[in-house]
Amino acid sequence: MRTEKQVSILGVVALFILVLTGCSETQKQTTQTDQAEKAMPMAQAPETPQIFEGELMKVDATARTLSVKSSEGQETEFRYNDQTLISGAEGGVEGLATKSGTPVSVHFDSATRTATKIEVKQRQK
């Protein structure tokens, strides 16, 4: 037979083990939640669009690209898609293709070099 003292000690030890197990599970959940919350703002942070200004050199409708040459002579190629906004050229991409030599501003995602907006400007006289 067990004495009351032994039963009490076993009860305290069992309770202690349960408390420690619960604390470690809570710590794991808290750590996982903290890691998920830290990763989330980085994934949700939108890229700041970059702007490249220069002279429109060519448009390749098949490859869905356009080349723009800066005033320093740097020629850069950008992709465009159906979501790309085009202003200042009638007929969208078809109208843009007729504007070779015209000044443009290309707003683009720096990670993918995809144009989000293309602004065709008036030629200076």
Would you give the DSSP letter of residue 91?
T
pLDDT at 123: 74
The structure's pTM equals 0.60
Q: Phi and psi dihedrals of 84, rounded to 5?
A: -70, 125
More confident residue, 18 or 5: 5
pLDDT at 18: 64
Residues forming a β-bridge with 79? 65, 114
Q: Give me the chain's average pLDDT, please.
A: 80
Percent of the chain predicted with pLDDT > 70: 70
pLDDT, one tens digit per residue, over 70-112 is 999 999 999 999 999 999 888 888 888 888 999 999 999 989 9
Distance CA 30, CA 121 (A): 54
Report which residue type is found at 60: D
- Residue 46 belongs to what H/E stretch? none
pLDDT at 94: 86
Q: Which two tokens stand for residue 4?
A: 């009351």
Instruction: Check: CB of residue 114 under 8 Å from CB of residue 85.
Output: no
